[in-house]
Amino acid sequence: MKKYDKDCFELFRVFSDGMILQRESRVRIWGFANCGSRINLEISPETDKPAQDKPDVKTVFADSQGEFSFEIATGPAGGPYHIRIWSGAMEVNINDVLFGDVYFISGQSNMELTVSRTIDLIGEELPDINYPELREFRVPLQIAFGEKRDQYEEGYWMRAVGDDILKMSATGFNFARDIHETSGIPVGLINCGIGGTPIEAHLSEEILKAYGIYDEDLEKCKDKAYVKSVCDSDMKELSDWYARLNELDDGLDGDVCLFTGEAYDDSDWAEMDVPVFFGDTEIGEHHGSIWFRKEFYVPDNYLTEGALLRLGTIIDADVVYLNGHNVGQTDYMYPPRRYMLPDGVLKAGRNVLTVRVIINRNTGGFTFDKRYCIQGREYIYEGGYRGRAGNPVDAVPEKGRYEIDLSGKWRYKMGPSMEVLPMMTFFQYKPAAIYNGMTHALRNYTFKGSLWYQGESNEVNANKYCELFEKYVYMLRQWFGDKLPVYFVQLPQFDDPARVVAKDSWAVIREQQRLASRIPDTAMAVTFDIGEANDLHPQTKRDVGKRLAALAKDISTGTGPLVTRATYNENDNTLVISFSHCDKLVLKNCESFEVSTSAGAKDIPLIFDENEDKKWKQVSDVSVKDNTVVIKGLPEKVKAVRYCYDNCPYKPSIYDMNGLPASPFVLDVVSVL
């Protein structure tokens, strides 16, 4: 138990300026002090007018564990309020407190992902976004093993105004904005999302021990010396790998890059079209570095200041030079390459772009269906222009902007070949790590509901996901109430650019998530029609947020069609698939349904291997009648049916009248005569 100086105390970090407390509830405010310390609290409206009545003072004493807690009744949505807490000579004032609806949000990178990473879609709106009553407390990454942390080392409440918007969860912000615009109620988010974490990292040790398969990790990670030694070893391997690569690379002389100058002669380099997946070329499974160069021209009457360089995404890492100047680098494959060019680097006439691509683990490449271009702000006249040397330079539709295409022929030179960089150990991915370090500390907070966006990192043991998610839901409900609503995101489509995700693994996760939606007071936002197939972190978070908000407003209308039953009539070889949560279905195409006449297709499927996959046959005679799908012309008895069962289904078929898609599914078929 921590010892404090006389009269000193500390509040749980979330209780700070700008916080939102759940409206019309009995909520707790707590902190830490020496055993027996007397702590006082008063709450009052934050106003310049003199108070009519003196605020009531609540008094509590710290218990034998050095913790104190106030319970206060909150009123209707609104504010701001001021909370004063004191003990002897020490006083803490919490300003700009609102009463509203507070949501616990968690998961992995797609919940953690900030608004700044969706700038391509939201950028033009940013100057007009001003929601001071939307707020987020982002819990800092802190992990623990064998102990449960009760305090956060840092953190503050961000308001959806100015630069803070860019730091907020994109999914959370868009959810909160939709709720707030409809209700006018302040919305608070407390965010425990951490990229890459499997669901096991968010579960308690007590839950995980029941499975028996996590015990070794749980025990080993309690040894701090072991954790430190692994981290030190990993960092040394990483440092040594890059040091050897740089030493062997002919393009480097110490810190000086030799291939980046405008005068460098690359005429003997090979050529390759970009974008490209290296596995489809003579480069193959090369690990190490590769140098790429591209010459392009900027017309004399194009403004070169304030330009943006886009290089899609690159597997795995890159360092980028323009006319010999380092203009940016990214250390892993997922972030979009958006490099603002310093004034004076881009120039009229000839320019030379050099990219050092580093492939450390995956099969490298430049991701397809991304933008590779220079985007400038202005040109002197409207209309298109055809640049020197035949380079196409076309004005984009917006007046006052131009775009120079950088796709097509690039020259390249192979760098040194290296062994695959060993995987680092990310201890935040370990069982119970996030639960112990972050989630458990919130157990006494009061929430309206919870949002969950996770599943990508559970593709290896996908068939356990529904069961683990159910454990997660009921863990939250032990703290936050038996009826706590939990709204979660079903994974979008994903056609892995690095081609390392196992076949059908995301399809299995989606099916497990569909089954999990049967848990009472949960609802699933179907998103496989609004992602970006070539991006693990799609920017389309506005749509995700709106679909989550639709669930929070009304589960009965916000879910989209939910499949309930598949019935095969042996008399006329007709399959009827029934749906709930819709009065009438909309059929957009007939290309997403497959049937199987073989035994073994289960409601909770295994990941199908190639032999299993051959048992499925696409059907084409598909129609809808009210809330059913009718499939005719089946050649023989059907035992199972599946819909959009693929990591990346491109043509969803079934929607409701509100434009919400039906979830992918796989079902055993009930036969009737």
Q: What are the structure tokens assigned to 660, written together?
A: 């919400």
**353, 382, 417 - which closes a domain:** 417
The DSSP code sequence of 29-40 is EEEEESTT-EEE
133-168 per-position pLDDT tens digit: 999 999 999 999 999 999 999 999 999 999 999 999
300-358 per-position pLDDT tens digit: 989 999 999 999 999 999 999 999 999 999 999 999 999 999 999 999 999 999 999 99
pLDDT, greater one: 354 or 391: 354
- pLDDT grade, residue 651 (50/70/90)? confident
Does 603 map to a domain? Answer: yes
- pLDDT grade, residue 600 (50/70/90)? low
470-518 per-position pLDDT tens digit: 999 999 999 999 999 999 999 999 998 988 888 889 999 999 999 999 9
Q: Return the SS3 of 463.
A: helix
Q: What is the mean pLDDT of residues 208-234?
A: 96
Give the pLDDT confidence score for residue 398 in this predicted structure: 43
Q: In whole angstroms, give the CA distance from residue 573 to residue 567.
A: 10
Instruction: Say yes or no to pLDDT of 605 above 50.
Output: no
Rounded to the nearest integer, the mean pLDDT of the chain is 92
Does 81 map to a domain? Answer: no
Which of 45-54, 94-103, 196-205, 242-251 is least confident?
45-54
Q: In whole angstroms, give the CA distance from residue 41 to residue 449.
A: 27
Which of 133-147, 270-284, 370-384, 530-544 is least confident?
370-384
Q: In whole angstroms, give the CA distance from residue 120 to residue 338.
A: 10
Torsion region of 271: left, alpha or beta (phi above 0 gives left; psi -120 to 50 gives alpha): beta
- pLDDT grade, residue 547 (50/70/90)? very high
What percent of the chain shows pLDDT beyond 90?
83
The H or E element that residue 205 is part of is helix 205-209
Instruction: Say yes or no to pLDDT of 609 above 60.
Output: no
Does 577 map to a domain? Answer: yes
**383, 417, 451 - which closes a domain:** 417
Give the pLDDT confidence score for residue 615 in this predicted structure: 81
- Number of domains observed in the structure of the chain: 2
**370, 401, 417 - which closes a domain:** 417
* DSSP assignment letter at 55: P
Does 439 map to a domain? Answer: no
Q: What is the mean pLDDT of residues 1-18?
A: 94
Give the pLDDT confidence score for residue 461 in this predicted structure: 83
Does 320 map to a domain? Answer: yes
Give the pLDDT confidence score for residue 544 in this predicted structure: 98
Q: Which residue carries 């992918």 as its tokens?
A: 664
**Hey, which residues does 502 pair with through a beta bridge?**
none
Give the pLDDT confidence score for residue 635 in this predicted structure: 73
CATH number at residue 567: 2.60.40
Does 587 map to a domain? Answer: yes
Q: What is the mean pLDDT of residues 28-53?
A: 89
What percent of the chain shows pLDDT beyond 70?
93
- pLDDT grade, residue 575 (50/70/90)? very high
Q: In whole angstroms, give the CA distance from residue 555 to residue 549.
A: 10
654-667 per-position pLDDT tens digit: 999 999 999 999 99
Does 94 map to a domain? Answer: no
**Would you tell me the crossing angle of helices 170-183 and 541-553 to the nearest 10 degrees?**
50
The DSSP code sequence of 291-327 is EEEEEEEE-TTB--TT-EEEE--EESEEEEEETTEEE
**N-to-C CA span, the chain:** 71
Residue range(s) defining the domain that contains residue 611: 562-672
Does 86 map to a domain? Answer: no
Give the pLDDT confidence score for residue 79 in this predicted structure: 96
Give the pLDDT confidence score for residue 58 in this predicted structure: 97
Instruction: Say yes or no to pLDDT of 188 above 50.
Output: yes
Q: Are 274 and 292 in contact (CB under 8 A)?
A: yes
Q: Are 482 and 521 in contact (CB under 8 A)?
A: no
CATH number at residue 389: 2.60.120.260
Model confidence, pTM: 0.94
